[in-house]
C-alpha cells in the first residue's frame, strides 16, 4: 500500500503529475514523448535539448508535468510490485490506423491493476486510413468508454508527426491531475523511487530518482533497499547540475555504493551511518526471504486462501483462445460469496515476464494451461515470489480452485524434474513406432518417468515413456552423458532437436490453516 504521511494541510503543496506512456509496439510511444518534449520544452530553450535521463518535465499553462520514459509496462508494474506508486496517469497510445492490439490490452490491464487513471491517446490521425472511432469502439470493449460517448475515459486524438492535438493532450492531463489532488510536503526529509539505474565506468553507480515527498539536497545520506549512499552530485534531466530537487522532479544522482534496482524506494535519513545500517538490515532480510523461497515457501494458492483474502487475482495464460474462454466460463460458475475471483489479465501464449509482474503487482497467481514460462519469466517469478501453476486440463484447475475456496484441498501433486534429454535422431521401426534417438544432458531418466515436450513455450506433449533402451536392451534408467532410445506413449510427432523434460510426481499433503 502507499505510505500515508501525517503532513498537515499547510505543509502540502501542489506537485507535478507523473505520467507514463504505454501501448503496443510501433504505435508511437517514443514519437509522442519526443514530440511533447520538443514542442513544450524547447519553447523557452535556445536550440533543441538533449534529454539526459529517462524522464523529463514540461511546463504547460504555468503548470509542470513529469513524463517517465519507462522501457515498458513490465518496468511500470515492477515498480508497483515493490510497493511504489510511481505514475499518476497512464497514457495509453493506440495507433488510429492499427487499432487495439495485444500489448494495448496488456497496457490497459497493467494500468488497471495499478489503479492508475487511464487517458487514451489516439495517435497517427494524420495517416490515411486512420479510424479514431474504431479505436474508441475497440477500447469500449476493454471497458474504457469515451467521455464523449457517455463513458468515463478521456480520449484525445493526436499526431506525433504533425504535432496536432498535443496541447489538448496536456490540457487533459492537467484536468485529470486536478481531480487527483496531487500534493506533497517539500519540507519533509526526501523520499522517492528509483526509475532507472546503471553503472557508469567513470562515475560509479548512477540512479534516476523521482522525488515524491520532501526536498533532496546534495550531501544527503540515503538508502534504497540494500543500497546506500550520500548524494555527491545531482543533475536535472537537461544534464545541468542542481543542488536540490522537489517533489515530482526526476533527478540523476551520483553517490550510491552499488547500483540500486529500478522500482526500489529511496529514503533520506539523518546520516551515513544510519543509511548504511538500514541498507544492511534490508540486505539481511532479502537473504532470509530468498532462502525461504528456495525452501519452497512462497506465495501460493494455499497461502492466499489461508490469509483473510477477500479476492483472488488470477493471470490466465493458455495455448489457444478457446481454452481461455472455457476457463473463464468455469470460473464464473464458482460460488464467489466468500472470495471473489478476478481475472486481471488473460492471453494466449507462454507465460512471460509481463504476466509474472502482473501477478506480483496484484498479489495473484498465474494459471498456465498447456503453456510454460518463456524468457526470463521463471526466474522473475522466483524473485518476486509469484506462483505459476501449470495445468493440462481445465477441469483440474477448476477443481483445485473450488477445493481451495472451500478450504479442503486434496493432496497436491508436485513434480520433480529428473532429467533433460535432447533428441538427436529419429528412427522408425515397423512394430514399435517412432524411436527418439536421444542423449541425456542432465540428471537421470527412468523407465516409468513422465515426459513433457515444450516447443516455443507451448506444451505439445505431456505423457509417459513407453520404452527406454540402450543398444536395443530395455534398461531401467539412463544417466547424463549417455545415449538412449525413447518411445513416447501415443505420440509420434517427436523431432530431431526437441528437448524432453523428464519428471516424476508425488503427492504432498497441503498445509491449510
Ligand atoms: P513505439 O514503438 O510505440 O515507441 O513507436 P515509435 O514512436 O517508434 O513509432 C513507430 C513508427 O510510427 C515510427 O516510424 C514513427 O515515425 C511512426 N509514427 C509515430 N507517430 C506517428 C504519427 O503520429 N503519424 C505518423 N504518420 N507516423 C507516426
pLDDT value of position 485: 95
Q: In a structure prediction context, what are the per-residue pLDDT tens digits for the chain, which is 513 residues long? A: 345 567 778 888 889 999 999 999 899 999 999 999 887 665 445 445 566 788 889 989 889 999 988 655 555 666 665 556 788 999 999 999 999 998 899 889 888 888 889 999 999 999 999 999 999 999 999 999 999 999 999 999 999 999 999 999 999 999 999 888 888 888 888 999 988 888 888 888 999 999 999 999 999 999 998 999 999 999 998 889 999 999 999 999 999 999 998 888 899 999 999 999 999 888 877 776 666 555 544 445 665 555 555 678 899 999 988 889 888 888 888 877 767 788 999 999 999 988 998 888 887 889 999 999 998 899 888 888 888 988 888 888 888 887 777 654 445 677 889 999 999 999 988 787 899 999 999 999 998 899 999 998 888 999 999 999 998 899 999 999 999 999 999 898 999 999 999 999 887 765 543
CA pair distance 221, 189, nearest whole angstrom: 10
Tell me if 70 is assigned to a ligand binding site.
yes
How far apart are the CA of 483 and the centre of ligand 1, in A? 52
**What atom in ligand 1 is closest to the CA of residue 127?**
26
Q: Which DSSP category does 338 fall into? A: S
* Cα three-residue angle 199-204-209, rounded to 5 degrees: 70
Tell me if 386 is assigned to a ligand binding site.
no
Ligand 1, atom 2: closest residue by C-alpha: 26
How far apart are the CA of 26 and the centre of ligand 1, in A? 6
pTM: 0.67
Which residues' Cβ are closer than 6 Å to ligand 1?
A: 23, 25-31, 123-124, 126-127, 159-161
Ligand 1, atom 16: closest residue by C-alpha: 31
In 3D, which of 375, 377, 374, 415 has the Cα closest to residue 502?
415
**What atom in ligand 1 is closest to the CA of residue 34?**
7
How far apart are the CA of 100 and the centre of ligand 1, in A? 15
Tell me if 24 is assigned to a ligand binding site.
yes
pLDDT value of position 46: 43
CA pair distance 25, 30, nearest whole angstrom: 10
Ranges of beta strands (E only) in 69-131 are 89-95, 118-123
Give SS3 for 58: strand
Among 28, 121, 126, 169, residue to substitute to test ligand 1 (most atoms within 8 Å of Cβ): 28
**What atom in ligand 1 is closest to the CA of residue 159?**
23
Tell me if 26 is assigned to a ligand binding site.
yes
Tell me if 71 is assigned to a ligand binding site.
yes
CA pair distance 323, 333, nearest whole angstrom: 16
Question: Which residue in this structure is represented by grid cell 504533425?
Answer: 162
Tell me if 317 is assigned to a ligand binding site.
no
Ligand 1, atom 24: closest residue by C-alpha: 124
Distance separating the N- and C-terminal Cα atoms of the chain: 25
How far apart are the CA of 121 and the centre of ligand 1, in A? 13
How far apart are the CA of 126 and the centre of ligand 1, in A? 11
How far apart are the CA of 291 and the centre of ligand 1, in A? 45
Among 23, 31, 69, residue to substitute to test ligand 1 (most atoms within 8 Å of Cβ): 31
Instruction: For residue 443, give Cα distances in angstroms to 403, 440, 473, 480, 506.
Output: 34, 7, 20, 5, 18
How far apart are the CA of 127 and the centre of ligand 1, in A? 11
Q: Which DSSP category does 334 fall into? A: S
CA pair distance 97, 135, nearest whole angstrom: 9
How far apart are the CA of 60 and the centre of ligand 1, in A? 24
Tell me if 458 is assigned to a ligand binding site.
no
CA pair distance 346, 159, nearest whole angstrom: 30
Tell me if 271 is assigned to a ligand binding site.
no
Amino acid at each position: 500500500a502507499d505510505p500515508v504521511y501525517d503532513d498537515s494541510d499547510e505543509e502540502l503543496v501542489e506537485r507535478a503529475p507523473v505520467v507514463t506512456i504505454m501501448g503496443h509496439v510501433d504505435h508511437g510511444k517514443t514519437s509522442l514523448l519526443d514530440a511533447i518534449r520538443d514542442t513544450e520544452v524547447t519553447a523557452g530553450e535556445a536550440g533543441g535539448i538533449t534529454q539526459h535521463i529517462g524522464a523529463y518535465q514540461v511546463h504547460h499553462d504555468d503548470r509542470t508535468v513529469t513524463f517517465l520514459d519507462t522501457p515498458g509496462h513490465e518496468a511500470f508494474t515492477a515498480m508497483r510490485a515493490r510497493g511504489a506508486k510511481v505514475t499518476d496517469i497512464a497514457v495509453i497510445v493506440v495507433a488510429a490506423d492499427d487499432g487495439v492490439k495485444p500489448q494495448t490490452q496488456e497496457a490497459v490491464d497493467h494500468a488497471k491493476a495499478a489503479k492508475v487513471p487511464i487517458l487514451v491517446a489516439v495517435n497517427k490521425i494524420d495517416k490515411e486510413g486512420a479510424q479514431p472511432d474504431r479505436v474508441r469502439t475497440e477500447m469500449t470493449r476493454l471497458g474504457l468508454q469515451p467521455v464523449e460517448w457517455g463513458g468515463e475515459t478521456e480520449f484525445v486524438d493526436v499526431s506525433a508527426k504533425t504535432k496536432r492535438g498535443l496541447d489538448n493532450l496536456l490540457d487533459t492531463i492537467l484536468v485529470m491531475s486536478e481531480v487527483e489532488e496531487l500534493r506533497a510536503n517539500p519540507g519533509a526529509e526526501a523520499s522517492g523511487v528509483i526509475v532507472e539505474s546503471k553503472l557508469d565506468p567513470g562515475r560509479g553507480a548512477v540512479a534516476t530518482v523521482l522525488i515524491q515527498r520532501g526536498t533532496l539536497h546534495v550531501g544527503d545520506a540515503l538508502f534504497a533497499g540494500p543500497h546506500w549512499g550520500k548524494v555527491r552530485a545531482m543533475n536535472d534531466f537537461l544534464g545541468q547540475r542542481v543542488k536540490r530537487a522537489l517533489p515530482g522532479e526526476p533527478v540523476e544522482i551520483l553517490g550510491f555504493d552499488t547500483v540500486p534496482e529500478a522500482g526500489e524506494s529511496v529514503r533520506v535519513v539523518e546520516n551515513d551511518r544510519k543509511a548504511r545500517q538500514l541498507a544492511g538490515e534490508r540486505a539481511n532480510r532479502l537473504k532470509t526471504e530468498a532462502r525461504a523461497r528456495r525452501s519452497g515457501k512462497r506465495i501460493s494458492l494455499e497461502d492466499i486462501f489461508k490469509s483473510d483474502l477477500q479476492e483472488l487475482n488470477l493471470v490466465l495464460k493458455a495455448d489457444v483462445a478457446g481454452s481461455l474462454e472455457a476457463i473463464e466460463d468455469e470460473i464464473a460458475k464458482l460460488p464467489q460469496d466468500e472470495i471473489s475471483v478476478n481475472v486481471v489479465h488473460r492471453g494466449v501464449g507462454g507465460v512471460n515476464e509481463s504476466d509474472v509482474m502482473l501477478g506480483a503487482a496484484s498479489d495473484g497467481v498465474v494459471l498456465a494451461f498447456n503453456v510454460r514460462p518463456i524468457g526470463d519469466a521463471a526466474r522473475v517469478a522466483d524473485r518476486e515470489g509469484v506462483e505459476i501453476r501449470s495445468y493440462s486440463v481445465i477441469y483440474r484447475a477448476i477443481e483445485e480452485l473450488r477445493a481451495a475456496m472451500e478450504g479442503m484441498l486434496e493432496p497436491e501433486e508436485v513434480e520433480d524434474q529428473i532429467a533433460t534429454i535432447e533428441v538427436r535422431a529419429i528412427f522408425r521401426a515397423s512394430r514399435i513406432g517412432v524411436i527418439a534417438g536421444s542423449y541425456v544432458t542432465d540428471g537421470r531418466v527412468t523407465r516409468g518417468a513422465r515426459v513433457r515436450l515444450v516447443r516455443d513455450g507451448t506444451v505439445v506433449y505431456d505423457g509417459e515413456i513407453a520404452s527406454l533402451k540402450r543398444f536395443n536392451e530395455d534398461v531401467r534408467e539412463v544417466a547424463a552423458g549417455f545415449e538412449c532410445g525413447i518411445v513416447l506413449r501415443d505420440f509420434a510427432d517427436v523431432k530431431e532437436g526437441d528437448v524432453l523434460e523428464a519428471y516424476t510426481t508425488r503427492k504432498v499433503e497441503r498445509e491449510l490453516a
